[in-house]
A and B are shown apart, each in its own frame.
Chain A
């Protein structure tokens, strides 16, 4: 099997993995965004219900679905807890480091889980404004570090998939990659 790294998950991560908050889809969501992919082994789908209050867009409710490791589930759970009640502008300032800190720290190998969670949030905020046709002046044009790294992770898996040199068809229908004899 692949490289193994011991994962001393802390109490908070383990607890949120066991009892995640705000799990599930949302029928009346205003925006739904995905970060990661099944091939990456990590994927978060984020649902946001947004309302306008005194000229600001506020996150009324947030739920998530997660396909991923224990840290991924915990990161998505804490993200939804953090953003409810926040304006989109406030939510935008949340970084992957905030999520990792809120979880009481993550092993470095799992940083990408909090990156993915924040990547999904930032995508959702962007697509909400695109949907309503508004361009807030505080929303940067260039991608944030979380959005860039999420994109990178998604692209890397495509490269791995496309990387095999030759395909050999075997007598009993199976097939596998190999190096040329």
Chain B
């Protein structure tokens, strides 16, 4: 059955609200308009070739890096590397450093709740290059404690990777404190933070975060196009390219830069930082409205991640609806026009739900009923109120079918 036929059955709900901004987002008109000229009217050339369309292309790369340098407080645009995704930037950080250190080997320390684009390359560095990988446990809300982290860092540690903001449960780590702690123990240890979910939601100042060496960004997390990411590489940190081929303007990533997408990323950054405080306040108030609305209408819901909302990303709501299974809930909500993702294992035969939810101590059945919502400045209050009603009805319907219920 084709998706087209499926959608015929799906019907048209009275309103559509997209909350799955973790996995992919919609791209606003301004961003699309900023990209289009670079496909065929300007800057469509190869940025490292000496002709006009090439120079125009190079200018986009240069200016976007200058913009990123400014908003991040980096020292030079040369500290930024474009990749084709946040996943690739994380791979470059982990495997690029491992490759550069493969003669001495050593230890790679990652938190237990890192994005899989950090965990899997670290595991590859272990199996392929002989590094030792350790995972730092987190508490029930996803926080890493300095006194726990320090037990894992030693003279052999080449890299510590701790996410700025967790992509699933929105836990905000104290990166300044953790990175300083790592450098106090071993000044040679490289500190990486995956800031894909922090960018555009928190002010990141690399001048103040002087112990952060590598930092990951992703365009689609801020309503930019998919297919662009960036890695900040502090001057003096040695990485090796992970992919091999013809280098262009990037010394760490071969292949032709995707200039139209970079132009779109630039526009998305401008939009995010145009009214930064207003945007963040807006996603926060919408998120609060969503969470309060659901928690007041639906019984037996667990909040995954920090209960203290000041220590939680302003856009993130991750809730486990007990006695129902998350995949069924995503389908049911889709029929009602509310688009979300679940940490359930039901799309995978190995029955392993989200590693993040398991690491914070959620039982399998609690993880199976989890739903992740992310709000943005493009949502309206009516969207939120509609979603609250849809969630309440969807959960009620599936609970009526379920053999599980409150034991009391």
Query: B-contacting residues of A (Cβ < 8 Å)?
Result: 1-5, 7-11, 14-15, 17-18, 20, 23, 25, 34, 38-45, 65-70, 72-73, 104, 109, 112, 153, 156-157, 160-161, 168, 170-181
Contact = CB atoms under 8 A, between A and B. Distances in A.
Interface size bucket, B side?
35 or more
A176 B139 contact: yes
Which of B6, B137, B353, B363 is packed against the most chain A CB atoms within 10 Å? Answer: B137
B347 A3 contact: yes
A153 B345 CA distance: 13
A109 B6 contact: no
Nearest to B10: A14
Contacts of B348: 2-5, 109
B328 A9 contact: no
10 contacts: A1-B342, A2-B348, A14-B6, A17-B332, A38-B368, A44-B403, A68-B346, A72-B328, A170-B148, A176-B360
Interface in B341-379: 341-355, 359-361, 363-365, 368
B43 to A, nearest CB: 35
A38 B365 contact: yes
Interface stretch (B59-67, B189-197, B283-291, B319-327): B319-327
A98 B110 CA distance: 47
A104 B1 CA distance: 10
Contacts of A173: 139-140
B103 interface: no
A153 B351 contact: yes
B137 A67 contact: no
A160 B168 contact: no
Contacts of B403: 25, 34, 43-45, 65-67
B325 A42 contact: yes
B135 A178 contact: yes
Contact of A18 (B335, B341, B352, B400): B335
Contacts of A153: 351
B361 A73 contact: no
Contacts of A180: 134
Contact of B140 (A39, A70, A174): A174
Contacts of A104: 1
Interface string B100-111: 000000000000
A14 B344 CA distance: 19
Which of A1, A3, A70, A168 is packed against the most chain B CB atoms within 10 Å? Answer: A1
A160 B134 contact: no
A65 B359 contact: no
A44 B368 CA distance: 15
A79 B155 CA distance: 61
Nearest to B139: A174
Contacts of A23: 400-401
Given A2-B353, A3-B350, A176 B138 contact: yes
Nearest to A20: B401
